[in-house]
Structure 1
Amino acid sequence: MRVLRFRVGNDIHYGVMEDGSHQVIILKGDPMYSAIEPSGQILDFDDIRLLSPVIPRSKVICAAPPANAFDPGVSLDFYLKPNTAVIGPDDPIVIPTWAESVAGRVRLAAVIKTMCKDLTEDQVDDAVFGWTIVNDVEAFTADGRQHNLAAHGFDTACPIGPWIVVNPELELDNLHYSESVNEEVVSTPRHSVLPFSPRAVVAAASQLTTLLPGDVVVSGCLSNPVNVRAQDRMECTIEGLGTLSNMVLSR
């Protein structure tokens, strides 16, 4: 099942769509905070404008890519993105005026459904509403440096979408990823070669900080950042989750 957040005219709705269907069933409320209850209205997918499937009420917490993923002593580190960095499918990534360049990475992300702390890996599935795609965009200054919050947290630095997949049978530890720029594939990593599973990342994040409903926990990746320029279109695809596509613009 896919959970969508979308706009029709001036109204924002939540809906669900089954695999292989083009019909979107509108829900009565936000399924993150209330039971999934159909409103009785059905729309065609082509008639809606997708938005970010979740606007985190608290935080986006990202596992930092390890310098050497194959070092047996490697440990997890994290950084935060503010919810003001979040955009949805087809929203533009806007290069900050101070940035010399920007780059993105395809990432798998968990959307948390319940307040939780100190999870074990076995408890993660009960705390996760579903899984989605994040394009982890970062900006660099002219000297090639990243400056923490500015690098990872500028407005539009966190595209999320195209929807949340709720599927207990999703093989999180062996998903195929791909990144493309202007329809040219530039990277095809697979999660099975990462030192930490997506569930391990969520559990580790919960050891550091309390996770709240709507929080997004972004798992690791092996791909190098994909450099993009103004007028490029970057697409992030994860097997079983779909494709997140965003144009890059300059101010």
Structure 2
Amino acid sequence: MKLVSYSCAADSGNRAGALLSHLDETGTHRDTVVDLRRAYALYLSDVSGDPFADGIAAVRIPADLTQFIIGGMRSREAAKQALGYVEDALARHRHAPLVESRVLLPLESVRLLAPIARPGKIVAIGANYAGHIKEGRSTGVLGELPAYPVAFLKMSSAVVGPDEAIVRSRHTQELDYEIELSMVIGKRCRDVAAENWRDVVAGFTIVNDVSMRDLIVEEKPTGVVFQGKNLDATCPLGPCIVTEDEIADPGALDIRLRVNGETRQSDNTCNMIFSCGQIIAYWSSRLTLEPGDIVTTGTTSGVAGFNRRFPERLLKHGDVVEAEIDGIGVLRNPVADEAAAHTEALPRSA
């Protein structure tokens, strides 16, 4: 499943959904969002006639995806049954009732949000591709690295969702992009063996680890990098969470990032130095990981770099950044100067 958090004009508050592509009754391809709570209530009512279907659906499929993840296998199974019910109804050409009951919504009619709006913590791996390490060393910013997946923390206040603006703060002149495959933690855990990492990961998403290179350089002599990774609205996350069972090998995914349609980063996760299992094993031995936490896997080469190495690549007002990972989708965000950060979101791409 591709789980999403969304809002729409017809409902108050955010809701949990799943992305679904299908052919409608006219044979036209449609990208839609399935409202999982409503779909599960219909499933319970239709299959078993349960008089408490709405209440059960509200418990099993909460609106907040972190709470959904905490619900574990029961919530996940409920969502699978809901989605299966919708797919079966579509196969029987029962499209109209699903639309009328707001179980099925056109993608263009909703606003996708960051699937985890406020992660408890974002453990961001800092150097996990040889090409990116080489870029850092070429400007003297990176030296010898320890033999473990180095990391820093990103704050939840930096998170923005699909089509929300990346804010170019007045405090930076060197705004840069970094596409990263990221894991969403599914259960509270500590000391996870590398071979058991999938047991504690609910799914995968995309993080664009937007970085303020000039601030990082200023902070480096102190030994603490914080501002350079954590200014407001510098951590796009989404567009969905792909459940762990749908990514057979996270170490074999093509990743790419475009700015205004031009490819800037392109690689495959097979080139990560530390695997997902090694990252989880190391950091779960140091930190308790909790449901909804995000653990990234580092970025590849192709960034603008430090000390204005490629000034033409630095992000500026009006740029559009698209971070894409096979099997997950495209995380698309405009860039806006701080004074103009409240401009309207971009229209949703198909």
TM above 0.5, yes or no, is yes
Q: What do residues 135-174 of structure 1 show as CA deviations (whole Å, max 9, x unaligned)?
A: 0111133895456211101111110011000142522011
Residue correspondence of structure 1 range 1-80 to structure 2 within 5 A: 1-9=1-9, 10-18=12-20, 22-28=31-37, 29=62, 30=64, 31-34=68-71, 35-36=75-76, 37=78, 41-65=103-127, 74-80=147-153
Residue correspondence of structure 1 range 210-249 to structure 2 within 5 A: 210-226=288-304, 227-249=314-336
Distance (whole Å) between structure 2 residues aligned to residue 67 and residue 174 of structure 1? 14
Q: Write the letter of the residue equivalent to 1:7.
A: S
Residue correspondence of structure 1 range 131-170 to structure 2 within 5 A: 131-141=204-214, 144-145=217-218, 148-170=225-247
Residue pair 2:33, 2:106 contacting (<8 A) in 1 also = yes
**Structure 1 residues 152 and 8, CA gap change in structure 2 (3 angstroms):** same
* Secondary structure, counterpart of 1:173 in structure 2: coil
Distance (whole Å) between structure 1 residues aligned to residue 216 and residue 293 of structure 2? 33
Distance (whole Å) between structure 1 residues aligned to residue 281 and residue 20 of structure 2? 29
Residue correspondence of structure 1 range 75-94 to structure 2 within 5 A: 75-94=148-167
* Larger RCO (CA under 8 A, 6+ residues apart): 1
Aligned twin of 2:262: 184
* Secondary structure, counterpart of 2:300 in structure 1: coil
**Structure 1 residues 42 and 169, CA gap change in structure 2 (3 angstroms):** closer
* Secondary structure, counterpart of 1:11 in structure 2: coil
**Structure 1 residues 98 and 62, CA gap change in structure 2 (3 angstroms):** same
Q: Write the letter of the residue equivalent to 1:184.
A: E
**Structure 1 residues 73 and 154, CA gap change in structure 2 (3 angstroms):** closer
Distance (whole Å) between structure 2 residues aligned to residue 111 and residue 142 of structure 1? 28
Deviation at 1:81, TM superposition (A): 0.6
**Identity over aligned pairs, percent:** 26
Residue correspondence of structure 1 range 114-133 to structure 2 within 5 A: 114-133=187-206
Segments of 5+ residues of structure 2 without an aligned counterpart are 23-29, 38-61, 83-100, 135-143, 305-313, 339-350
Distance (whole Å) between structure 2 residues aligned to residue 169 and residue 121 of structure 1? 20
Q: Name the structure with the higher strand share.
A: 1
Cα RMSD for the two superposed structures: 2.4
Distance (whole Å) between structure 1 residues aligned to residue 216 and residue 325 of structure 2? 32
Q: Write the letter of the residue equivalent to 1:107.
A: E
Distance (whole Å) between structure 2 residues aligned to residue 153 and residue 72 of structure 1? 22
Aligned length: 251
**Structure 1 residues 143 and 48, CA gap change in structure 2 (3 angstroms):** closer
Distance (whole Å) between structure 1 residues aligned to residue 20 and residue 107 of structure 2? 11
Distance (whole Å) between structure 2 residues aligned to residue 142 and residue 209 of structure 1? 27
Q: Write the letter of the residue equivalent to 1:249.
A: A
Which stretch shifts more, 8-17 or 37-46?
A: 37-46
Segments of 5+ residues of structure 1 without an aligned counterpart are none
Q: Say whether 1:197 aligns with 2:275.
A: yes
Distance (whole Å) between structure 2 residues aligned to residue 143 and residue 77 of structure 1? 16
* Secondary structure, counterpart of 2:198 in structure 1: helix
* Secondary structure, counterpart of 2:108 in structure 1: helix
Distance (whole Å) between structure 2 residues aligned to residue 202 and residue 211 of structure 1? 9
Distance (whole Å) between structure 2 residues aligned to residue 56 and residue 117 of structure 1? 21
**Structure 1 residues 82 and 103, CA gap change in structure 2 (3 angstroms):** same
